[in-house]
Amino acid sequence: MERQFQLGVAGFALVVAAFAIAGQRPKAAGESGQPHSDLVKLASISTADRQSIDYAALDARLQRMVQKPTMVGMAVGVVENGRITFLSGYGETLAGSGERVTPATVFRWASVSKGVAGTMAAKLAEEGMLDLSAPIARYSTSLRLPGGDEQRATLGDVLSHRLGLYRNAYDDKLEAGENPVLIRQTYASLASLCAPGTCWSYQNIAFDSSSEAIARVTGKPYKEVVANRLFRPLGMTSASVSREGLENAPSWAKPHSVGRRPLELNDAYYRVPAAGGVNSNIKDMALWMIAQMGGMPEVLDRKVLDEIHAPLVQTPNELGRLRKFRERLGEPYYGYGWRSYVYAGHRIIGHRGGVNGYRSLILFDPERKSGVVALWNSNTSQPGGLEFEVMDMLYGLPFRDWMEIDKGGSPTSTIASAEDVNSGGDTRG
Burial zone of 25 (CB within 10 Å; 0-12 exposed, 13-18 middle, 19+ buried): exposed
> Rounded to whole angstroms, how far apart are CA atoms 340 and 364?
10
**Phi, psi values for residue 317, rounded to 5°:** -65, -20
Q: Tell me the pLDDT of the chain (429 aa) as tens digits.
A: 434 434 443 444 444 444 333 333 334 344 544 444 588 889 999 999 999 999 999 999 999 999 999 999 999 999 999 999 999 999 999 999 999 999 999 999 999 999 999 999 999 999 999 999 999 999 999 999 999 999 999 999 999 999 999 999 999 999 999 999 999 999 999 999 999 999 999 999 999 999 999 999 999 999 999 999 999 999 999 999 999 999 999 999 999 999 999 999 999 999 999 999 999 999 999 999 999 999 999 999 999 999 999 999 999 888 777 888 888 999 999 999 999 999 999 999 999 999 999 999 999 999 999 999 999 999 999 999 999 999 999 999 999 999 999 986 554 444 444 454 444 333 322
Phi, psi of 122 (to 5 degrees): -65, -35
Q: Give the SS3 label for residue 111.
A: helix
**Residue 89 CB partners (closer than 8 Å, separation 6+):** 3, 73, 74, 75, 100, 101, 102, 103, 105, 282
Sign of CA dihedral 291, 294, 296, 297: positive
